[in-house]
């Protein structure tokens, strides 16, 4: 199973016993779209740590505590070959402590070193903290995807960032 470390941040498989915590945190997330699907989350946890159908899901752990998840979607699902999109969800109480930056950094570096010359991510244009993470880590801002993400209140504009191996 895949395990990545950066300082006190560990990216590892999600444990079966963490389903309830992840489900409850996703229900509270201001960035969610609709209600979380408990069964879909359970299936993703079962395959966490292994590439499966173009998906890789990992837990973000600090000091032995689960604080969120990070994941990748690859070309077989959405993008041209060699492109990988990542996403991160940190529990609200853990945001702003630098853990997300470390998780994104080590995960993107690992992907670049393992056959993905382009790693990209999107975030709501209003999510200034996440945009600062990408900029701090040297990701290139590539533009705005207008009316991109369906939300309960309509469709949100999303900012696209990328990191490439060249």
Band of pLDDT at residue 154, cut at 50, 70 and 90? confident
Class of residue 98 by CB neighbours under 10 A (exposed 0-12, middle 13-18, buried 19+): middle
Band of pLDDT at residue 137, cut at 50, 70 and 90? very high
pTM for the predicted model, two decimal places: 0.90
| Separation between Cα atoms, residue 1 and residue 8, nearest integer Å | 19
Model confidence pLDDT, tens digit, residues 81-113: 889 999 999 999 999 999 999 999 999 999 999
3-state secondary structure of 3: coil
Band of pLDDT at residue 79, cut at 50, 70 and 90? confident
Query: Which of 107, 94, 113, 166 has the alpha carbon at shortest distance from 134?
Result: 107
Band of pLDDT at residue 37, cut at 50, 70 and 90? confident
- Indicate if the pLDDT at residue 44 is higher than 70: yes
Lowest-confidence pick of 19-28, 36-45, 75-84: 75-84
Q: What is the pLDDT of residue 78?
A: 66
Percent of the chain with pLDDT strictly greater than 70? 93
Q: What is the pLDDT of residue 27?
A: 85
Domain ranges of the chain: 4-164
Q: What is the pLDDT of residue 33?
A: 66
Percent of the chain with pLDDT strictly greater than 90? 66
CATH: 3.40.50.300, 3.40.1350.10, 3.40.50.1010, 3.40.630.30. Which one for 4-164?
3.40.630.30
| Separation between Cα atoms, residue 5 and residue 42, nearest integer Å | 25
User: What is the per-residue burial (b if ≥16 Cβ within 10 Å, else e) of 37-58?
Assistant: eeeebeebbeebbeeeeebbbb
Residues 6+ apart with CB under 8 A from 85: 72, 73, 74, 78, 79, 119, 120, 121, 122
């Amino acid at each position: 199973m895949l395990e990545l470390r950066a300082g006190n941040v560990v990216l590892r498989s999600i444990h079966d016993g963490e389903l309830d915590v992840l489900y409850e945190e996703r229900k509270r997330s201001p960035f969610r779209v609709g209600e979380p699907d408990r069964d879909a989350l359970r299936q993703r946890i079962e395959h966490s740590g292994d590439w499966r159908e173009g998906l890789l899901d990992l837990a973000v752990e600090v000091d032995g505590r689960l604080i969120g998840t990070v994941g990748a979607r690859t070309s077989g699902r959405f993008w041209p070959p060699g492109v990988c999109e990542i996403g991160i969800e940190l529990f609200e109480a853990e945001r702003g402590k630098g853990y997300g930056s470390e998780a994104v950094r080590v995960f993107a570096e690992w992907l670049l070193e393992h056959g993905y010359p382009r790693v990209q991510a999107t975030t709501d244009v209003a999510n200034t903290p996440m945009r600062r993470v990408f900029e701090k880590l040297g990701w290139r801002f590539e533009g705005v995807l207008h009316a991109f993400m369906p939300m309960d209140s309509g469709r949100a504009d999303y900012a696209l960032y990328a990191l490439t191996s060249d």
